[in-house]
Amino acid sequence: SYELTQPPSVSVSPGQTARITCSADALPKQYASWYQQKPGQAPVVVIYKDSQRPSGIPERFSGSSSGTTVTLTISGVQAEDEADYYCQSPDNNGTNYVFGTGTKVTV
């Protein structure tokens, strides 16, 4: 089955840069999206199509991809960025739209 692997946790000081990776279990990856989820709240998309930022999302959030790995970068991390982050990507057949294992970002 298709799996997306993320580091369980990332710790960063305010003003520093946080990088969260998401690796595909096998074969060429499809476009990925990233979601931020704070406790007790629904997720919010922060990046889609690997590197596109929705309106209203701060510029400090950016996305990139290389081979079978996508990366979410948060530049100049703020306390309000402390949350769980999930990647999501379709499998190669466009039949299963898997979420990654999730990363807890601690500021």
Nearest approach in angstroms of CB 2 to another protein is 9
Nearest approach in angstroms of CB 62 to another protein is 16
Which stretches of the chain bind another protein, using CB under 8 A? 1, 30-31, 33, 35, 37, 42-45, 48-49, 54, 84, 86, 88, 90, 94-102
Element (H, E) at 74: strand 69-74
Nearest approach in angstroms of CB 29 to another protein is 9
Distance between CA atoms of 9 and 6, rounded to whole angstroms?
9
Distance between CA atoms of 75 and 17, rounded to whole angstroms?
4
Q: Running DSSP on this structure, what letter comes out for residue 35?
A: E
